[in-house]
């Protein structure tokens, strides 16, 4: 399986080189090449499920990279990382399929797909890294490709949105580097497995300082209120595939980093600052809900809803309990599936109407009943309807907070009220877009759902149903590694 791990990481990078050198006159062939390559990589991520164990790392590669600095290319997957690796593979496959028919101006699907392949390589590296230096390197690899996707293929305000994205993420990157170096010096190792195997035995104040730095770094990427302001602009201006990748996998790098890096690096700091993280997470849920109720643009509304959903994920992490962290990991996947689907659907709406303004939309069900139906499915899934994937992560994050008691009980109650806000703004969205009389926007394209759109939507609809009806498919993977982590972080 070591060869499979390496192949998952290397094939997207090789694909990016091939696409960059592809003859410009064969754009269509380049698109199908990207689909085939993404399909092969996704299949390899599923192969990694073979040989899964209840505890420990399933598959691992550990070779010397920079011997003079004792840095090793240490990669692996376990029950915490594999679901995100598989989600990453699926997301980029669906984006490649979608791009065969839907490439934003100024065109050049070959170049867009090359950037997405580099981005895929970076995201895989983050989720598979078991060395802090390797984690940081791949975290940085994702920065410039996403910046270019927004800046070149985005909307009218793309340059300002891309600059804001770059400035925020560079700020987070500097803090991440400081935190990782401080933790490596204090722990005497860069090995993340060693960090998670035993409690840190260094100064409590030092741990608090390191956890603060790492928390801010990962909060920018999550994003956590009040460091979220780059996200709505980035989502609003990004092309459809950029918004899907951003929602489905890039935001998960922040919450995953908290679990994989920050908690084991400075467990005493995590315990001291857990109430602060919980309070900020609940503030994100409430503030995002109120903003969504006042939002008048479809993409911006979905973007702010992501801030609220990730607030539930962060609340689960803040409990430092097995149910809470499991809820957070489940919520990560559910958000990736449902919000990724929502951004595909918003792209379809804007393709047809030429706008995302709620005041100009309406009556979509009369023009495209299938589009309206899938949009309704994704919206009720995102608001947490029982039986769909969005329910379990948010519900059990609230339960975990209440079970912890004290201050966290109040946080759980407020978070539950925030979930009611989600129901209100998603139902408002559906009322303004799918039902009622047609809006003032002219339907530029009255066609039905095409094959490429259906191919991009169908797997996400299926996963939302499967994980909603059988949540143990994911929870069974995470329970053992989460129990081991909590035993170290919160003994």
**The predicted structure's pLDDT at residue 371:** 87
Question: Do residues 262 and 215 lie in contact, with contact meaning Cβ atoms separated by under 8 Å?
Answer: yes
* Rounded Cα distance, 124 and 133, in Å: 15
Q: Is 57 exposed, middle or buried (0-12, 13-18, 19+ CB in 10 A)?
A: middle
**The predicted structure's pLDDT at residue 62:** 83
Q: How far is CA 114 from the centre of its chain?
A: 20
- Residue position matching structure tokens 């490709």: 145
- Pseudo-torsion of CA 18, 24, 26, 30, nearest 10°? 30
- Summarize the confidence of residues 197-210 as an average pLDDT: 78
Question: Do residues 310 and 287 lie in contact, with contact meaning Cβ atoms separated by under 8 Å?
Answer: no
Residue 59 has pLDDT above 90, yes or no: no
pLDDT (tens digit per residue) in 427-481: 888 888 887 677 666 566 666 778 888 888 999 999 999 999 999 998 989 888 9
Q: Is 188 exposed, middle or buried (0-12, 13-18, 19+ CB in 10 A)?
A: exposed
pLDDT (tens digit per residue) in 80-90: 999 999 999 99
**The predicted structure's pLDDT at residue 14:** 92
pLDDT (tens digit per residue) in 22-37: 886 777 888 888 899 9
pLDDT (tens digit per residue) in 93-151: 999 998 888 776 666 788 888 999 999 999 999 999 999 899 999 998 988 898 888 88
- Put simply, whether the predicted model's pTM sits higher than 0.95 gets the answer no
Q: How far is CA 116 from the centre of its chain?
A: 15
445: left (phi over 0), alpha (psi -120 to 50) or beta: beta
């Amino acid at each position: 399986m070591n060869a499979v791990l390496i192949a998952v990481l290397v094939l997207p990078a090789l694909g990016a080189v091939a696409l960059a050198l592809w003859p410009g006159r064969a754009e269509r062939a380049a698109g199908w090449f990207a689909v085939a390559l993404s399909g092969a990589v996704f299949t390899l991520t599923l192969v990694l499920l073979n040989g899964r164990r209840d505890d420990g790392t399933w598959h691992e590669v550990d070779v010397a990279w920079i011997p003079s600095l004792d840095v090793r290319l240490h990669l692996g997957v376990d029950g915490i990382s594999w679901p995100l690796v598989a989600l990453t593979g699926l997301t980029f496959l669906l984006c490649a399929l979608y791009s065969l028919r839907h490439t934003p101006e100024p065109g050049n699907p070959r170049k867009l797909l090359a950037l997405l392949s580099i981005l895929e390589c970076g995201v895989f590296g983050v989720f598979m890294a078991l060395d802090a230096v390797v984690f940081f390197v791949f975290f940085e690899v994702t920065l410039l490709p996403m910046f270019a996707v927004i800046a070149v293929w985005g909307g009218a305000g793309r340059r300002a949105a891309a600059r804001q994205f770059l400035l925020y993420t560079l700020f987070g990157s500097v803090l991440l580097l400081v935190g990782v170096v401080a933790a490596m010096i204090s722990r005497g190792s860069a090995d993340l497995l060693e960090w998670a195997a035993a409690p840190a035995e260094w100064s409590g104040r030092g741990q608090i300082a390191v956890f603060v730095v790492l928390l801010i770094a990962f909060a920018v990427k999550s994003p956590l209120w009040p460091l979220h302001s780059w996200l709505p602009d980035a989502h609003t201006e990004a092309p459809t595939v950029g918004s899907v990748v951003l929602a489905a996998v890039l935001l998960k790098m922040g919450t995953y980093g908290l679990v994989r890096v920050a908690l084991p690096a400075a467990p005493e700091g995590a315990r001291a600052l857990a109430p602060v993280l919980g309070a900020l997470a609940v503030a994100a849920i409430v503030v995002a809900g109120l903003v969504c109720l006042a939002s008048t643009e479809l993409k911006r509304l979905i973007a702010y809803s992501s801030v609220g959903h990730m607030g539930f994920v962060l609340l689960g992490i803040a409990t430092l309990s097995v149910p809470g962290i499991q809820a957070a990991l489940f919520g990560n996947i559910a958000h990736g599936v449902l919000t990724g689907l929502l951004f595909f659907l918003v792209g379809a709406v804007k393709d047809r109407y030429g706008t995302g303004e709620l005041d100009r939309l309406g009556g979509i069900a009369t023009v495209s009943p299938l589009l309206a139906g899938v949009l309704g499915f994704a919206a009720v899934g995102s608001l947490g309807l029982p039986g769909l994937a969005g329910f379990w992560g948010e519900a059990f994050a609230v339960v975990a907070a209440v079970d912890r008691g004290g201050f966290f009980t109040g946080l759980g109650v407020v978070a539950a009220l925030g979930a009611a806000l989600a129901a209100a703004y998603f139902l408002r969205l559906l009322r303004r877009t799918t039902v009622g009389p047609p809006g003032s926007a002219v339907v530029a394209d009255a066609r039905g759902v095409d094959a490429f759109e259906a191919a991009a939507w169908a797997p996400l609809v299926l996963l939302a149903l499967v994980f909603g009806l059988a949540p143990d498919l994911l929870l069974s993977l995470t329970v053992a590694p989460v129990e081991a982590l909590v035993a170290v972080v919160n003994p």
